[in-house]
Amino acid sequence: MLKQFILSKHHIRVVTLSILCVTGSAFAETASVGPARLLLTTQNWPPYQEYKNGTMQGIALDRVKCALSKMGQPYQITMTKWSEAQLKVHSGNQHGFFVATQTKERDEYATLSLPIAEQKLEWYFAPGIEPNVTELSKINLKFSAKFGSNKWFWLKRHGFNVVKQPRNAKVLLKLLKDRDIDVALEDELVFNEALKQASLPLDYFKHKVLKTENMGVYFSKRFLEKYPGFLKSFNAAILKCEG
């Protein structure tokens, strides 16, 4: 097994992890369902996936690696901006992206795998803001989420007064703490990581659950047409990696 880490310093930080499975039996098994090297792309989004202490790690990433290992599937994972990750799959330059919730827009060009993680979306309220979201408050209060995320576009589509364009949970938290926004929408685990990094207690902001969603790997439909047995094999491997 060969592991290679590449970190390039461009306007977008790109980190690539390649795993080549060279054991004869494993490679022979996957040759019929997958490519010589599977190309996946993702974003830096702790604790689901992140580049830390010289390695890629995280809840979702570890499960993807587990499934691909059980399949004997060689792969390369590139970490970049989330919008870029999805665009590369849409354009055919990558085979899949993760970790993602299901949307109609993504379903047009890709197919979602079985769940590899669960996302709990929470409203987080700035100090002094009543912890409740109503039809009146969605217009009168200032809302935000990570810019370019499904959450940010969901707020826009549903008529919320969306302001600011925070690039990550750290910036989103600062906006909320400084009262530049009144309400933030973010994944509970992701926001908890941001709170820890800011040395704030997990109950610093009042919060309320919006909904819980499953997240998986989106594979390009063009890729799945070329390798029709891949998704079934990947989903079966995911089930073996539970817990």
Three-class SS of residue 205? coil
Residue 211 clears pLDDT 70, i.e. is over it: yes
pLDDT of 18: 57
Percent of the chain at pLDDT > 70 equals: 86
Q: What is the pLDDT of residue 54?
A: 84
* Residue 5, pLDDT above cutoff 70: no
> Which residue has tokens 């594979």?
219
Instruction: Evaluate whether 96 touches 218 at the Cβ level (below 8 Å).
Output: yes
- How many Å separate Cα 242 from the centre of its chain? 18
Residue 161 has pLDDT above 60, yes or no: yes
pLDDT value of position 23: 35
CB crowding 201-213: b at 16 or more within 10 Å, else e: eeeebebeeeeeb
d(CA 41, CA 156): 26
> Could you tell me the pTM of the whole model?
0.83
Q: How confident is the model at residue 6 (pLDDT cuts 50, 70, 90)?
A: very low
Q: Tokens 């040395």 identify what position? A: 199
- What pLDDT is recorded for position 2? 34
Label residue 123 by pLDDT band (50, 70, 90). very high
